[in-house]
Amino acid sequence: MSKAEELLNIANKTNIAEDFVKAGNNFIIEDKYGFAAEAFEKAGRVYIVNNNKYTAANIYVKAADNYIKDKQYNIAQNLLNLAINNYLEEEKFIYAAKQYVKKADNYVKDK
């Protein structure tokens, strides 16, 4: 079992966002981008439950970036939508606009 997998097991037991982020970062080191994206996505959900929408949006972007590396464009688009909505709710309009641009670039890659 890799270090990232061990960290993910811990994160699944603790349900602490930072533990999912650690696992995701370790999956990136191991070049397992799909697994990294899933870990970041779980972290984003935990941040939402804890009403930390800005951090959740940042983590959703990180998850989307890893899904893009893994060529899972549709999932990445959905996560970028979540990030955009959270940025808008937090009145972080520039951050939301940047993710709209990323969505457009991602759309072109998918076609």
Confidence class for position 104, pLDDT limits 50, 70, 90: confident
List pLDDT tens digits, range 83-98.
Answer: 999 999 999 999 999 9
Angle, helices 17-29 vs 3-14, to 10°: value is: 170
Nearest to 46 by CA among 64, 32, 65, 59: 59
Angle of CA points 63, 64, 67, to nearest 5°: 90
List pLDDT tens digits, range 24-75.
Answer: 999 999 999 999 999 999 999 999 999 999 999 999 999 999 999 999 999 9
**What pLDDT score was predicted for residue 111?**
62
Lowest-pLDDT range of 1-5, 57-61, 105-109: 105-109
**What pLDDT score was predicted for residue 13?**
96
Average pLDDT over the chain reads 94
Confidence class for position 105, pLDDT limits 50, 70, 90: confident
